[in-house]
Amino acid sequence: MNLKQLSELLGLSQTTVSRALNGYPEVNEATRERVLQAVKETGYRPNKAAQRLATGKAGSIGLVMPTAPGHQSDVHFGEFLAGLGEEAVRHDFHFVIMPADPDDEVAALRRLAISGNVDALFVAYMRGHDPRLAMLKSLSMPYVVHGRSFGSEPDYPYLDIDNEGAFYDATRLLLQLGHTRFALMNGPMHLDFAIRRKNGVISALAERGLALGEGCMSHALMTDEQGLLAMEHFLQLPERPTAILCSSTVLALGAIRAVNQAGLRLGEDISLIAHDDVLPLLKPESFSVPLTTTRSSLRAAGVRIAQRLIGTVKQAGPFPDQELWKTELIVRASTGPVPQA
């Protein structure tokens, strides 16, 4: 069933039917009723490809998903997607996901943009000096970046959380508790958030004349296994750190296992603060020793970015171009005063 058939059925022109469907004012209310009724009865749905071709709008936002054999999927991706979806469903938008080899993201993004399948782009996993920014700017298609790109001019639309501030605050809390030997368990080194979190820690320490010790910084994928390994490493250090900053509750999971296995007590022998993306599968408050965290909902960020993206496509008023969300520092039981030597 297509427009032509439907309009013949109704004895109307395609024009009028199309207008009735799209809410144009110049069509008689009675006719509109009739059309709507017929749509219900026939189950007619406009062909999106044709609509897309005619209007240039697709009602979709595009994103690339890094993937490859052996490339580990990322919990955070799914959670973020849920946020985007939550908003998209309200506007009858959908996503076009372009899977791409992690080495090929720039090209994949360009392909996606040019494909004509999407109205706007969402970009994540930002890196320092990210090469995608230049490409995006040249594209004349709306986009929003999740995160920022350290080292690039901040003249692009983004939504980020204050990673540096979060880890600065977390570090200060631990300093106030008397800790002096710190370690940072971070995400992959090239990612923007990792860079900023590191800076937050370093600058808080520097204010007290301290620094991260030798071997007290790890960069790894954020899985529990990597958390375990990193923590085991920290615990073997001659000057064992007493305060751990951790980029994810997933990492913390493994880290805490290592602490337990070493016979140490979390919150007493070792203090730990993790960043909490509010993943539904892992609640810091239900850890056996509830975790002190810096918190910011990944999902909420997804919702917000979808709002901005969809709003821009629909020309629904101006949105702030750049948003930096503060994180909350929530103190629970995994942090305590430095143990007496």
Task: Give contact residues for its own copies (rule: CB under 8 A).
Answer: 45, 47-50, 52-53, 58, 60, 65, 67-69, 71-75, 77-79, 81-82, 84-86, 88-89, 94-101, 111-112, 114-117, 221-225, 228, 250, 253-254, 257, 260-261, 280-283, 286-288, 299
Min. distance of Cβ 105 from DNA in angstroms?
24
- Residue 18 binds which of DNA, its own copies, none (CB < 5-8 A, kind-dependent): DNA
Distance CA 99, CA 109 (A): 10
Q: What is the dihedral of CA 322, 299, 75, 127, to 10 degrees?
A: 0
Min. distance of Cβ 94 from DNA in angstroms?
16
Tokens coding 227: 């958390």
- Residue 73 binds which of DNA, its own copies, none (CB < 5-8 A, kind-dependent): its own copies
Nearer to DNA, 29 or 214 (CB): 29
- Residue 88 binds which of DNA, its own copies, none (CB < 5-8 A, kind-dependent): its own copies
- Residue 283 binds which of DNA, its own copies, none (CB < 5-8 A, kind-dependent): its own copies
Min. distance of Cβ 315 from DNA in angstroms?
12
- Residue 224 binds which of its own copies, DNA, none (CB < 5-8 A, kind-dependent): its own copies
Closest CA to 283 of 272, 270, 297: 297
| Residue-by-residue DSSP string for 173-189 | HHHHTT---EEEEES-T
Tokens coding 271: 């203090």
Nearer to its own copies, 30 or 281 (CB): 281
Min. distance of Cβ 275 from its own copies in angstroms?
15
User: What is the H or E stretch that residue 19 is in?
Assistant: helix 14-21
Q: Which three-class secondary structure state does DSSP give residue 123?
A: strand
Do the beta carbons of residue 184 and residue 201 sit within 8 Å?
A: yes
Distance CA 147, CA 164 (A): 12
Residues 6+ apart with CB under 8 A from 97: 62, 63, 64, 65
β-strand pairing of 143-146 with 120-123: parallel
Min. distance of Cβ 268 from its own copies in angstroms?
17
- Residue 26 binds which of DNA, its own copies, none (CB < 5-8 A, kind-dependent): DNA
- Exposure of 298 in the CB half-sphere (CA atoms within 13 A): 19
Min. distance of Cβ 279 from its own copies in angstroms?
8
Nearer to DNA, 16 or 249 (CB): 16
